[in-house]
């Protein structure tokens, strides 16, 4: 196994009461990567996180995290290297931000002075004495994120970290995640937001009915699924579609020579288009 490989999943099958949830799942994640798991509701994203954090077993295949069998994460010493944010990462509503974080400091034996630092990281400096029930949804999610990274985990699992957040809060979370990633944190996240995947993931996998149908860096996927057409916008407002070939080049040359060209766009599909094409499904 490659030294820099943090997660390795090989041919994993998972069933619930005889019903298949994950089918021949294989992928690996390198240290320092942000890896996005994309799929519609029920495709197996949450189940995958549960398997990768040893909260659920599986029928066959193998999973290694930090080069060890995933079951070893039951050892708190190893689990300390991991941070998990899921749907049911609740907060104590009637306690302050500070009190909520103090409880986790106690749980993880982290000194209270880390709270100020982590609040700064998530852009909540000065909000520590607010009661959680008075916070906006976006702020609350940032408190949950603060709690998730309180013990400085090197590997983060985030289950739909921005679902149901407004665009400004989503952007804030993205910025925080990018900074964490630049500082060396490896991130595994699930999402059904293609835009999110394109913005923050180094690589993505498309999950459909428990099976990975395609994986790779977003940019490469878009280029390899491009239909190679180019759109020209002319100064008179007309749009023209030309091929990415000799004939197209001749046409573009002519348009430029005649000083008619306003702009050029290559027509790469979005990740959403590619997902729909390979799975025959929309993400929602």
Ligand X SMILES: Nc1ncnc2c1ncn2[C@@H]1O[C@H](COP(=O)(O)OP(=O)(O)OP(=O)(O)O)[C@@H](O)[C@H]1O
* Binding flag, residue 46, ligand X (CB under 6 A): yes
The CB-of-15 to ligand X minimum distance in angstroms stands at 9
Q: Residue 194 to residues 30, 57, 275: CA-CA distances in angstroms?
A: 21, 29, 9
Q: Which is nearer to ligand X, 152 or 209 (CB)?
A: 209
Question: 């941070």: which residue's tokens?
Answer: 83
The CB-of-267 to ligand X minimum distance in angstroms stands at 30
Binding segment toward ligand X, per CB under 6 A, in 43-51, 101-109, 228-236, 255-263: 43-51
- Interacting residues with ligand X between 8 and 37 (CB under 6 A): 16, 21
Indicate which single residue of 1, 3, 41, 237 sits in contact with ligand X (rule: CB under 6 A).
Answer: 41
Q: What string of DSSP letters covers 45-90?
A: HHHHHHHHTTSS--SEEEEEETTEEGGGGGSHHHHTTEEEE-TT--
Binding segment toward ligand X, per CB under 6 A, in 39-47, 103-111, 138-146, 224-232: 39-47
Query: Encoding tokens for residue 60?
Result: 């066959």
The CB-of-20 to ligand X minimum distance in angstroms stands at 8
CB 97 within 8 A of CB 37: no
Q: What string of DSSP letters covers 184-249?
A: T-EEEEEES-HHHHHHH-SEEEEEETTEEEEEE-HHHHHHHT---EEEEEETTS-EEEEESSHHHH
Q: Which is nearer to ligand X, 18 or 126 (CB)?
A: 18
The CB-of-101 to ligand X minimum distance in angstroms stands at 27
Q: How many residues contact ligand X, by CB under 6 A?
A: 10
Q: Residue 77 to residues 4, 163, 266: CA-CA distances in angstroms?
A: 20, 31, 50
Q: What is the C-alpha to C-alpha distance for residues 220 and 214, in angstroms, rounded to an integer?
A: 11
Indicate which single residue of 6, 25, 27, 45 sits in contact with ligand X (rule: CB under 6 A).
Answer: 45
Instruction: Give 211's strand partners.
Output: 208
Query: Encoding tokens for residue 147?
Result: 């709690």
Q: How many Cβ atoms sit within 10 Å of the Cβ of residue 268?
A: 18
The CB-of-82 to ligand X minimum distance in angstroms stands at 19
Indicate which single residue of 2, 42, 60, 254 sits in contact with ligand X (rule: CB under 6 A).
Answer: 42
* Binding flag, residue 47, ligand X (CB under 6 A): yes
The CB-of-210 to ligand X minimum distance in angstroms stands at 7
Q: Which is nearer to ligand X, 44 or 138 (CB)?
A: 44
Query: Encoding tokens for residue 63?
Result: 């999973």
* Binding flag, residue 161, ligand X (CB under 6 A): no
Instruction: Show the CA angle centred on residue 108, arms to residues 47 and 144, nearest 5°.
Output: 55
* Binding flag, residue 43, ligand X (CB under 6 A): yes
The CB-of-244 to ligand X minimum distance in angstroms stands at 36
Indicate which single residue of 36, 39, 83, 218 sits in contact with ligand X (rule: CB under 6 A).
Answer: 39
Q: Please report, as ranges, the residues that interact with ligand X according to CB under 6 A.
A: 16, 21, 39, 41-47
């Amino acid at each position: 196994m490659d030294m820099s490989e943090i997660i390795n999943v090989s041919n994993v099958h998972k069933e619930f009461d005889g019903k298949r949830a994950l089918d021949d799942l294989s992928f690996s994640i390198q240290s320092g990567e942000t890896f996005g798991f994309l799929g519609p509701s029920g495709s197996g994203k949450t189940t995958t996180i549960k398997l990768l954090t040893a909260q659920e077993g599986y029928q066959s295949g193998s999973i290694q995290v930090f080069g060890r069998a995933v079951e070893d994460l039951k050892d708190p010493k190893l689990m300390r290297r991991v941070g998990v944010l899921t749907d049911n990462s609740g907060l104590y509503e009637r306690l302050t931000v500070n009190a909520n974080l103090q409880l986790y400091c106690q749980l993880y034996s982290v000194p209270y002075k880390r709270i100020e630092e982590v609040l700064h990281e998530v852009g909540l400096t000065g909000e520590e004495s607010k009661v959680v029930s008075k916070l906006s949804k976006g702020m609350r999610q940032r408190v949950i994120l603060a709690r998730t990274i309180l013990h400085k985990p090197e590997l983060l699992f985030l289950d739909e970290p921005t679902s149901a957040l407004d665009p400004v809060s989503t952007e804030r979370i993205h910025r925080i995640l990018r900074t964490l990633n630049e500082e060396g944190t490896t991130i595994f996240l699930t999402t059904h937001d293609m835009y999110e995947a394109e913005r923050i993931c180094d690589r993505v996998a498309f999950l459909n009915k428990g099976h990975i149908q395609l994986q790779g860096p977003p940019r490469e996927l878009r280029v390899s699924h491009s239909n190679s057409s180019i759109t020209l916008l002319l100064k008179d407002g007309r749009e023209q579609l030309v091929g990415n070939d000799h004939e197209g080049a001749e046409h573009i040359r002519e348009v430029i020579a005649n000083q008619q060209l306003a702009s050029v766009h290559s027509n790469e599909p979005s990740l959403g288009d590619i997902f729909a094409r390979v799975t025959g499904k929309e993400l929602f």
